[in-house]
Amino acid sequence: MPSLDKPDSHLTTVKWRFPSVHPEGRKFTLIAAFLALVTYSLVSHFLGWLLVMVTIWVATFFRDPVRTTPQDPKLVIAPADGLVTMITQVPPPPELAADGGLSGDFTRVSIFMSVFDVHINRTPIAGTIRRVAYVPGKFLNADLDKASEDNERQHFLVEGDDGTKIGFTQIAGLVARRIMSFVKEGDRIEVGERIGLIRFGSRVDVYLPAGASAQVLLGQRTIAGETILGEIGVDRQRSGRSQ
């Protein structure tokens, strides 16, 4: 990932650097590396090399690249890397409607993360965490629409300084078995700040309020902390094509 040498981008050069491994993934990487070493030394060179590849994949899965986030309070930024698989009008989740005060219909943008995507999730706007709600559930394919209601999930509600409230949800999938949060209710967070991760594949839903239509397209890939999902006060749906 590129890194900025100085805070003023017009005065800097950009250099590529290897992404670091998030602390949550270091123990899994070490375990995989130890198993690879033991297997290579005592069991089979072939199986050992296979486990070396698994070790590389585990380290890659937990990679935590630096992201450059647009600093505009009207922008809603993607919280996850992945594929935009659904854009639909829905009411807010009950956990955010009852205790978070969300009402009406929202544009839900669903981002599916494969096992090859970065799984560190980031906040779409700056503000205060008003609600964190964990809901136990199933582990259905995260691509299914009903996954937003049936799967294990964790809801977040962020209130911006202007009172705008954005809800988003981490949803477990077929392989995912643990949703982690790095923040708690009452925390002050900046746009693009890391708020959690989901181990081994899943989905993140973002609820855009009225007057903020999606600025991404079905089939488009998003980059957490960088891709603009929507803009508050801009109700204009983009069009495009796959090619």
- The catalytic site residues sit at 202
CA 97 to chain CA centroid, Å, is 22
Amino acid at 162: D
Per-residue burial over 2-16, b = 16 or more CB atoms within 10 Å of its CB, e = otherwise? eeeeeeeeeeeeeee
Query: Tokens representing 134?
Result: 């964990």
DSSP state letter for 93: P
Coil, strand or helix at 210: coil
Dihedral pair phi/psi, residue 208, rounded to 5°: -85, 130
How many other C-beta atoms are found inside a 10 Å radius of the C-beta of residue 48?
17
Query: Tokens representing 69?
Result: 């986030």
How many other C-beta atoms are found inside a 10 Å radius of the C-beta of residue 150?
15
The length of the chain in residues reads: 243
Amino acid at 62: F
